Amino acid sequence: MRLAGKVALVTGGSRGIGRAIVVALAREGAKVAFCYRASSEAADALVKELEAGEHDAVAWQADVANKADADAVVAKLIERWGKIDILVNNAGVIRDGLLATMGEEQWREVIETNLGGVYNFCQAVTRTMMSARYGRIVNLSSVAASKANPGQANYAASKGGVEGFTRCIASELARRGITVNAVAPGFIETDMTLAVRNAAGEEIKKRIPMRRIGQPEDIARAVVFLASDEASYITGQVLCVDGGLTLGGM
């Protein structure tokens, strides 16, 4: 119960990696709120599952790219539980396409969701965390930020931006007892990566030194560590959880 008494907020928490993070935080004792954009049935089912396990949880619908939505979610969380200790920015989208044929909307949606959403929620919690002189912010990046994948210029740019943003605000907030870190997943078994996994088949595993696709729980465990007091002297870092994918030479 490393997070007993803590209050956490996870964006994009109804499915995939986000869902695993919500469950992991709750099992470590945190009260957890999460937001979702469209998966209301999945969100409701997750809340019921957590409540059945005697965990405090709540879900709110929100578009992370909308600043007003971000402010409203944070305000409701503080009204409900009086504080926020942990923010996990997980929400993201993929709209792959080669640059020559990429539409402006493909670019804009990915940047505004993946990077803009991180800005919106970080700014919404910063003053509260600064006043409390305590906070843990974990932003989800991707190995795509440092490993070139043709057709993902928009996604790579958004995740590279997340990493730069993470380092910058970590330096701003460190003196107030707030740590800011990022986790960069590799190939993880989620709905978002299904098309890529289906197309590449077993070839994906050959590119990973550990020879397996990661599970959402692999990412959740890393997030819990960075959100806990065990990581209180770690800030401004990017933790790759990728089975060795970015090592190269395999």
Which positions are annotated as active-site residues?
Answer: 155
Distance CA(195)–CA(190), nearest Å, equals: 10
Token couple for 154 = 């928009």
Ramachandran category for residue 23: left, alpha or beta (phi over 0 → left; psi -120 to 50 → alpha): alpha
Question: Distance between CA atoms of 64 and 92, rounded to whole angstroms?
Answer: 9
Determine the length of the chain: 250
